Each structure stands twice: as structure tokens, then as C-alpha cells.
């Protein structure tokens, strides 16, 4: 069954573009279904409707009706609403921003370029999409409200920072409404001082006497005035407490009892739910509820499979219509979820009573999702069930697609599961893939540790089943080539092995051919390298791999310059530049080499303005190239040294040569590169030193630079970079000195002028 066929059968909606890299859940983007008889919160809705602030923060513990309030506001508001119900899977910037883009698109079409980027299979989706989404919010034709419900479920720092950026770029009249159990991770105090936020908390959400009586009467409970007032006081107006109490009164009335059985204390909820609600249901229904609580979202076919039963769809429909804390997620009443209070209770109960069964139920859910063409959901349930074999098989298939769609946080979470459960040696294919991902992500320590695990695991297995059409030996050869731990000679041998093992037509075929060409170039054989790279370019273009094609063109231009064929080098660079612009690759670390070579060509042609623009781009990206990709990191820096020497910028050249020296100390056998570095160092010693400037920023300073425009203090930035606040402060002062400025704000403006900063700031910088 294909993914699209499965989606149609399961009523999963088509995405805004069929090329989106993951399935879009309609229930997350749809205004939650309002039950009949819900108590109108008229005063609060009027307050929201009259609010002129760009940010609305509705913050209260569970059960206070945060979502209900926002739904009522959306139903009465004159402006359009874009809605997103967050869940734990949104802790990935690419996922979060894709959903936000889809939500906005449904209100008013967004820039087609955003849609193209979302479907581009680019690992830089978050970096590319965020500034454009911010621009969308700043330039809407008419004001709107974007609602992010369940914000407390976002704990990924990059995701919460993205929300902050969007909040800072709302156009006049538009609003961002956040519903959360805890205070949103935004500079609320600053926004409060600026009068830019309306806050509604538990005190405002608590029901007054009129609203409380309306709730009780809405579910058929009619109490004398004094009794009703007493109950409302005892529950302190807590809406869910009143609702549960009303259900209790209904149950008591059927048995001829009277009284006020529920005190409304939050700590009594669990006891109440069991004694007054669940205990009055048939045992079969209670069993159904507890056992299906292992599922995030539920539908009839899924529950039938998990429980080995039939009739689940009808039971879910009856439970929802009976107001038993079962929430319909669509108007077709096919998908549901339990009220979070109820699900937490049910999940804890089934884990206490039937811990072994929990794993089996979760395993069946994984099987169902895999059978229905939803492998990413299957991964989550497989891991929850401890089904390592299934998880390994699925993750091996999904690693590259998820990586190239920009969902690094999702991929890291999956990989971390194998690491934390000490399963890397057992699944060498996953370890090899993880090592490659860590290397490309600039995490050399993790890359080498995972590579060692892949090598150890491979010794214990005769041969694994091919992953993405490549046998385990092929993945190991590719991994060894990328890491280049044993020198260029071995890199060339490993690359040749990878070429033999990666079949023609495989998506990684262009990459292994590129690596073979680079190994030949570094071995001092440019003629052989160019022949391989010419073929690699054709394969890359046929395979639709623009990032690989751009890097191939950069390598070929280096060969052309070495032959003094500057016209050929210029043609290759311009071709690479066109690919980079068309495919939105300007933020890819691997394009740093292309920009560095382009700067050399521009200098040769006397186009100094273009040269400095290309140098700024390459300098900004070079901090992402460290010794996990040692050969490319060294190549890029050496090309930058040559460009800076041509401009007589010796301070920048010296900084870069020091970085090359650090790389060579870690990877001493990089072929011709150490000799080239030595020659450039001798040449530099003969040149008059100049004053340091912006171009002389170190790699550490370049990593700090994008964080300066955020609202984080130096201490907060240090936590993100895993360094001390003192180190951050020292690096910042060094940046100020090199820019010739005296403050953080001036440094930000100078960096923007130089093209070293691209993303919009979430807010003004804090004092440090």
C-alpha cells in the first residue's frame, strides 16, 4: 500500500503541496470541535477581541479552559484565525515551521517560494523558512491571529526561539495567541513593560457564580442556589473540577444519593475519576480506555488492531457523545484523543496494573502504523515498545530523507534512543548512518564514537540486509571516506570501495563519486580527479542533488585554477552560483568552498565588490566546517587564505592559517594540503602585516555572532554554546574590537552591513 493510498483511507488530508517531506495531520490545524452546551466566556472573549497587543498569553494549569476560550474567540472574531495544536513531535524546527506555514497558507496564500523550500528536501529548511515566515507575518494584506495551543509541549530551544522571532515580526493589528500550562519561554517581562502582551491566567479563567451555574445546568445538574455557590467556591471556579463534579452528581442521582461528593482539589482528581466516573462504567469500557491510553491519537481501526477486537469506532463515538472526556479531532468523528488529565491517569493505571501488556500494545500500534504507510509514527511506537529491530529497520530507511528535509531534531532524538539504550554495536548500519549525520552536522566527537561502534558491530555480523540498497560494507566505506581518519591514501581506497558498493541510480552515487574525485585531488592527481568529477557532475544533476553538484563545480574550479585556466574556472563558478541560488543553498556549509573560489575568481577579474560579498558568505559558513570534514574544512580555509592574500589582508590570512594548522594537527595526513599551507605561510611571512578587521573573526567568534541579536544574555548564550559566560563575554569584546565598535547593538548592525548575519532578530539584545 502506498503512503498516499493509506492517507486517503485514513482520512489524513492532502498537504498544501504533495512534495512535503512528512504527512500533515489535519487535526492539528483545525479549530477544535466545540461541544454543545459549552459555557460562553463572553467577558473574556470581549477582552481578547478588544486587545490591541500583538501577543496574547493564556497561561493556566490543566482544566482551566484555555483552548475553549480561544475557540470561542475564533468563532466570534472578525479577523481570520490560523490554528496549530502543538504536540511533542513539534520539537523540531523544520516540523514546527512547516505546520505554521501550512496554517498561515490556509488563511491567505503565502509566498510560493516558502512552499518551494518546504518541499525542497533541504536540510536547511528552518534557517531558510524562518525569516520568510517572519516577513509573511509582517506584510499580511489583512490582520490575522495565529494560535499556538499547548505551547508547554515545546522544549526545543530552537523552536521556542523561532516562536520569539515570529512574535517580534507581527504586523500592526496581527496577533500571536499562545495557550500554555506554563509561562511561555519568551521575554515576557520586556514585552509587558512595552505594553505588547495581554496575559490571561488562572484567576481570570476561573468561573464566576453565573458561569459555574451555567456549566452545571448545561450537563443537567440543577442545584439550589446555596448548594451551587458552595460547590463553585470549593472548586475555586476550576472549570474541569466543576465539570467532573457535575458528572458525579449525575451518577449519584441515578442511585438516589445527594450531597457534594467532589471537593475540587487538584490532588483528588485521580481518586475522583476512578471512584465517581470510571468505576461506574462497564469493566469492558474501562479496559478499553486504560489500554488505548498508550496511544497519542486514536481511531477505530487502530484500536481494533491494538486490542485485537472489533467495534472500537462505535465505542469511541458513544464515549465522545456522552462527554466522557473523549475529544473528537475532526467533524467526521474518525480520530479522537483523551482529555490530557484523563489520559495521564489511564496511562499511569495501565502501566501499574499491566506493565508487560503496555509494551505489547505499543508494539501492535507500531505494526499498524507501519502497515498503513506511516513509518515515522511507527518509529515512535517501536521505540516506546522497546522493539529495537523494528526501530532500527525503520530509522535506517528514514535517516537520509529526514536529514535532508531539515528535521535534525527529530533525527537526533531517534539516534539518541539507540545511543542511550547502548544499541549502537548491535545495529552497525544505524551507527554508520548516525556517524555520517554527526559528521555532516559538525559534531566530530560524536561522529568518531559512532564510527567506532559501527566498526565494532560490523565484526559481529556476517552481513546485514542492504539499507537503501547499500550493503553494510558500502556504508562503512562511505563513512571511512567522509571521516578521513587514516589519511588521504586510505581515503582514496575507501572511496573506490564505496563506488563499487553503491549501485548506479542510488541517491548517494553522486556523493561517493565526489569523494573519490576529492581523494584523487588531495593525493596530487588533479587529472584523474577532474575526469571523475566530470562524471560525478552529470550523475548529480540527473539525481537532482544540487548541493553535491555545487560542491563538484567548486572542486573542478580549483583544478582549473591550478592549470591557470581562469576562464574555465569562472564558468564553473558561475554555474555553481546559479545552482546555489536556484536551490537556496546559500546557507549550506559545503557551499563555503564555492564562495571562497568565487572570491578568488572575482579578485582576478577586478570585481572587488563581488569578491568581498563572496568572502563574507564563505567566512560566515566556515565556522560550520570543522575536523569532522577535515579535508573540506582545510580546503575552504586555504582558498580563503589565497583570496585574502590577494587583497593584502594578512591578519585574516593568518587567522585562517592557524585554523588550518589546528586541522592538520588532528588529521596530519591530508595529502597536498599541509604542504600548500606551509607554502602560503612562507608567502605570508614576506608580506607586510595589516590591521585586523572583520574578516579576521575566529571560528568561535563566528559561532557566537548569530546569537548576539537574540534576547539571550551572555550567560544564556554560553549555555547554548556549552561555554562559560566569561568566554562569551571575551569573544564578544574581541568581535567589538575587530569591528571597531563599542557595543553589542553596534556589532549587530556592523555584522548585518557586512553580510555576516541573515536571520531576523527575535528582539533587541539584552544587556550583559
CATH code for the domain in which residue 578 is found = 1.25.40.10
Q: Residue 408 pLDDT more than 80?
A: yes
Provide the pLDDT for residue 465: 75
Q: Are residues 264 and 192 in the same domain?
A: no
- Which of 182, 205, 228 is the last residue before a domain boundary? 205
DSSP 282: -
Mean pLDDT of 159-180: 86
Mean pLDDT of 392-402: 91
Structural domains counted in the chain: 4
Phi, psi of 149 (to 5 degrees): -95, 150
Q: Are residues 183 and 81 in the same domain?
A: yes
Q: Are residues 157 and 16 in the same domain?
A: yes
DSSP 417-466: HHHHTT-TTT-HHHHHHHHHHHHHTT-HHHHHHHHHHHHHHHHT-S-PPP
Domain membership flag for residue 620: yes
CB atoms within 10 A of CB 140: 17
Give the strand pairing for 298-299 and 335-338.
Answer: antiparallel
Provide the pLDDT for residue 765: 45
Q: Are residues 195 and 87 in the same domain?
A: yes
Q: Are residues 706 and 676 in the same domain?
A: no
Mean pLDDT of 164-170: 82
Domain membership flag for residue 441: no
Q: Are residues 39 and 107 in the same domain?
A: yes
Domain membership flag for residue 417: no
Distance CA 226, CA 228 (A): 5
**C-alpha cell read off for 374:** 506511516
Residue by residue, what is the 3-state secondary structure of 101-127? HHHHHHHCCCCHHHHHHHCCCCCCHHH
Q: Are residues 590 and 640 in the same domain?
A: yes
Domain membership flag for residue 69: yes
- Which of 150, 185, 205 is the last residue before a domain boundary? 205
Task: Report percent pLDDT > 90 for the chain.
Answer: 44
Q: Cα Rg for the chain, rounded, in angstroms?
A: 30
Q: Are residues 32 and 149 in the same domain?
A: yes
Domain membership flag for residue 217: yes
Distance CA 81, CA 106 (A): 9
- Which of 205, 239, 272 is the last residue before a domain boundary? 205
**C-alpha cell read off for 701:** 567568534
Domain membership flag for residue 159: yes
Q: Are residues 271 and 136 in the same domain?
A: no
Q: Are residues 257 and 120 in the same domain?
A: no
* Contact (Cβ atoms closer than 8 angstroms) between residue 445 and residue 485: no
Distance CA 760, CA 741 (A): 21
Distance CA 588, CA 537 (A): 18
Domain membership flag for residue 198: yes
Q: Are residues 725 and 669 in the same domain?
A: no
Mean pLDDT of 102-122: 79
Q: Residue 311 pLDDT more than 90?
A: yes
Provide the pLDDT for residue 679: 94
Of 266 and 95, the structure prediction assigns the larger pLDDT to 95
Confidence grade of residue 251 (pLDDT, cut at 50, 70, 90): low
Domain membership flag for residue 570: yes
Residues of the domain holding 729: 699-754
Q: Are residues 549 and 586 in the same domain?
A: yes
Mean pLDDT of 93-114: 88
Confidence grade of residue 690 (pLDDT, cut at 50, 70, 90): very low
Amino acid at each position: 500500500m502506498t503512503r498516499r493510498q493509506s492517507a486517503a483511507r485514513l482520512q489524513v488530508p492532502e498537504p498544501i503541496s504533495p512534495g512535503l517531506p512528512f504527512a500533515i495531520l489535519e487535526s492539528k490545524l483545525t479549530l477544535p470541535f466545540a461541544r454543545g452546551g459549552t459555557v460562553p466566556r463572553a467577558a473574556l472573549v470581549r477582552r481578547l477581541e478588544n486587545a490591541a497587543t500583538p501577543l496574547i498569553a493564556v497561561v493556566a494549569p490543566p482544566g482551566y479552559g484555555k483552548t475553549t476560550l480561544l475557540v470561542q474567540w475564533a468563532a466570534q472574531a472578525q479577523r481570520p484565525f490560523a490554528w496549530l495544536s502543538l504536540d511533542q513531535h513539534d520539537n523540531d524546527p523544520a516540523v514546527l515551521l512547516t505546520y505554521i506555514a501550512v496554517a498561515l497558507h490556509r488563511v491567505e496564500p503565502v509566498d510560493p517560494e516558502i512552499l518551494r523550500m518546504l518541499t525542497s528536501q533541504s536540510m536547511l529548511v528552518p534557517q531558510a523558512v524562518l525569516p520568510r515566515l517572519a516577513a509573511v507575518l509582517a506584510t499580511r494584506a489583512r490582520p490575522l491571529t495565529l494560535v499556538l495551543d499547548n505551547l508547554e509541549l515545546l522544549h526545543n530551544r530552537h523552536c521556542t526561539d523561532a516562536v520569539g522571532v515570529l512574535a517580534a515580526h507581527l504586523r500592526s493589528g496581527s496577533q500571536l495567541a499562545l495557550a500554555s500550562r506554563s509561562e511561555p519561554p519568551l521575554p515576557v517581562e520586556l514585552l509587558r513593560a512595552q505594553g505588547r502582551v495581554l496575559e490571561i491566567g488562572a484567576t481570570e479563567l476561573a468561573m464566576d457564580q453565573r458561569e459555574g451555574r451555567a456549566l452545571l445546568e448545561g450537563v443537567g445538574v440543577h442545584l439550589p442556589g446555596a448548594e451551587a455557590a458552595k460547590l463553585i467556591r470549593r472548586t475555586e471556579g476550576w472549570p474541569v473540577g466543576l465539570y467532573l463534579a457535575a458528572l458525579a452528581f449525575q451518577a449519584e442521582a441515578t442511585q438516589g444519593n445527594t450531597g457534594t461528593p467532589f471537593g475540587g482539589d487538584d490532588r483528588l482528581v485521580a481518586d475522583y475519576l476512578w471512584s465517581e466516573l470510571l468505576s461506574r462504567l462497564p469493566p469492558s469500557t474501562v479496559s478499553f480506555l486504560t489500554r488505548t491510553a498508550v496511544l497519542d491519537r486514536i481511531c477505530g481501526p487502530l484500536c481494533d488492531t491494538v486490542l485485537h477486537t472489533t467495534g472500537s469506532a462505535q465505542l469511541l463515538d458513544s464515549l465522545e457523545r456522552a462527554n466522557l472526556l473523549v475529544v473528537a479531532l475532526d467533524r467526521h468523528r474518525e480520530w479522537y484523543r483523551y482529555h490530557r488529565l484523563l489520559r495521564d491517569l489511564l496511562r499511569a493505571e495501565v502501566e501499574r496494573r499491566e506493565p508487560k501488556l503496555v509494551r505489547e500494545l505499543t508494539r501492535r500500534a507500531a505494526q499498524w502504523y507501519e502497515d498503513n504507510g506511516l513509518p515515522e509514527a511507527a518509529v515512535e511506537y517501536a521505540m516506546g515498545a522497546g522493539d529495537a529491530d523494528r526501530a532500527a529497520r525503520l530509522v535506517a530507511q528514514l535517516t537520509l530523507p529526514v536529514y535532508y528535509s531539515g528535521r535534525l531534531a527529530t533525527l537526533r532524538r531517534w539516534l539518541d534512543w539507540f545511543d542511550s539504550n547502548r544499541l549502537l554495536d548491535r545495529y552497525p548500519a544505524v551507527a554508520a548512518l548516525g556517524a555520517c549525520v554527526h559528521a555532516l552536522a559538525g559534531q566530530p566527537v560524536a561522529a568518531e564514537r559512532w564510527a567506532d561502534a559501527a566498526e565494532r558491530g560490523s565484526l559481529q555480523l556476517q552481513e546485514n540486509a542492504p539499507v537503501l540498497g547499500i550493503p553494510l560494507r558500502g556504508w562503512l566505506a562511505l563513512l571511512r571516506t567522509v571521516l578521513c581518519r587514516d589519511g588521504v591514501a586510505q581515503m582514496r581506497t575507501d572511496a573506490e570501495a564505496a563506488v563499487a558498493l553503491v549501485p548506479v541510480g542510488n541517491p548517494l552515487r553522486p556523493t561517493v563519486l565526489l569523494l573519490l574525485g576529492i581523494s584523487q585531488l588531495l593525493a596530487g592527481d588533479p587529472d584523474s580527479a577532474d575526469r571523475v568529477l566530470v562524471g560525478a557532475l552529470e550523475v548529480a544533476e540527473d539525481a537532482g542533488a544540487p548541493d553535491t553538484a555545487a560542491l563538484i563545480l567548486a572542486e573542478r574550479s580549483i583544478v582549473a585554477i591550478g592549470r591557470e585556466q581562469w576562464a574555465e574556472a569562472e564558468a564553473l563558478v558561475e554555474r555553481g552560483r546559479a545552482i546555489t541560488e536556484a536551490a537556496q543553498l546559500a546557507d549550506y556549509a559545503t557551499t563555503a568552498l564555492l564562495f571562497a573560489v568565487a572570491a578568488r575568481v572575482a579578485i582576478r577579474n577586478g570585481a572587488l565588490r563581488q569578491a568581498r560579498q563572496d568572502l563574507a558568505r564563505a567566512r560566515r559558513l566556515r565556522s560550520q566546517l570543522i575536523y569532522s570534514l577535515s579535508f573540506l574544512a582545510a580546503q575552504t580555509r586555504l582558498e580563503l587564505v589565497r583570496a585574502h592574500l590577494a587583497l593584502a589582508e594578512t591578519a585574516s590570512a593568518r587567522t585562517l592559517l592557524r585554523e588550518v594548522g589546528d586541522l592538520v594537527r588532528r588529521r596530519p595526513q591530508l595529502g597536498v594540503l599541509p604542504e600548500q599551507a606551509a607554502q602560503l605561510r612562507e608567502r605570508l611571512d614576506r608580506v607586510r602585516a595589516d590591521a585586523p578587521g572583520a574578516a579576521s573573526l575566529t571560528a568561535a567568534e563566528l559561532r557566537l555572532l548569530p546569537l548576539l541579536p537574540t534576547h539571550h544574555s551572555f550567560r544564556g548564550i554560553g549555555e547554548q554554546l556549552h561555554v562559560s559566560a566569561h568566554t562569551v563575554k571575551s569573544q564578544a569584546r574581541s568581535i567589538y574590537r575587530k569591528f571597531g565598535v563599542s557595543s553589542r547593538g553596534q556589532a549587530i548592525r556592523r555584522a548585518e552591513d557586512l553580510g555576516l548575519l541573515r536571520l531576523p532578530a527575535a528582539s533587541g539584545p539584552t544587556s550583559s
